[in-house]
Amino acid sequence: MTTHARRLPLVLLAGGFLLLMYFDVPSLFSLDALAQHRAQLLRWTSQFGWLAPLTYMALYVAVVAFSVPGATVMTLAGGFLFGAVMGAVYASTGATIGAALLFLAARGALSAWLKRRVGERLHRLRQGFEHHAFSYLLMLRLIPLFPFFVVNLVPAFSGMRLRDYVLATWLGVMPAAFVYALAGSGMGEVLAHGGGWSLGGVMTPKVVAALVGLAVLALLPVVYRRGARV
């Protein structure tokens, strides 16, 4: 890989960071801000057509790439603006692209710096990726046992292929994205009638149990292969 190709992810991350700061995006990621601007957001979505989901995904990419707090609110907003199904698809796609940028940066110009930042957590996770990278990453996406930022980087240090990383990430974040997008799709009516809304009612015990079940299914190939070697 040429020097310019290795630096491309760094250039993209730097450009996204400048856009985030210029538009003061981090201040917008709250339920209060979403409730306050809901009418304007819906109007913009209607006016700009296909540019609306593209803008939403680009913003989601920036949120994930820079680990800006607010991904949950972004997913709720996706359901609110585009409906549960498409909101989940757009959110998952944006999250996956943002994670892929970090993955490429970890293998390129930022490799040494990111390894120092991750530190000991890198060593604890690398073993899981050595022989069962796809299943292990899928499980970690379904059930976030480690910070999302760390899980974005460790596969790059462990030699995981980009194609497998992207697919496991997209599939892994989709279930939770759909749950939050589904909740977001019902926010409009509640807020329009002056009702209260919070995240507390979203992750119910049934939803958590379903996500845990999916994570267990993701690990079944690992358990089977280990058992077959015994």
Chain centroid, CA 22 distance in Å: 22
pLDDT recorded at residue 91: 96
Token digits of residue 7 = 């630096």
pLDDT recorded at residue 156: 78
Amino acid found at 36: Q
pLDDT of 31 above 70: yes
Count of domains observed in the chain: 1
Distance CA 35, CA 200 (A): 16
The answer to whether the Cα torsion of 127, 132, 133, 134 is positive or negative is: negative
Nearest to 77 by CA among 61, 62, 47, 57: 57
Residue 45's domain spans which residues?
3-229
Among the ranges given (51-65, 110-124, 142-156, 168-182), the one the predictor scored with the smallest mean pLDDT: 110-124
pLDDT recorded at residue 230: 43
Distance CA 170, CA 91 (A): 10
Model confidence pLDDT, tens digit, residues 165-187: 999 999 989 988 888 888 888 77
pLDDT recorded at residue 149: 74
Whole-prediction pTM: 0.75
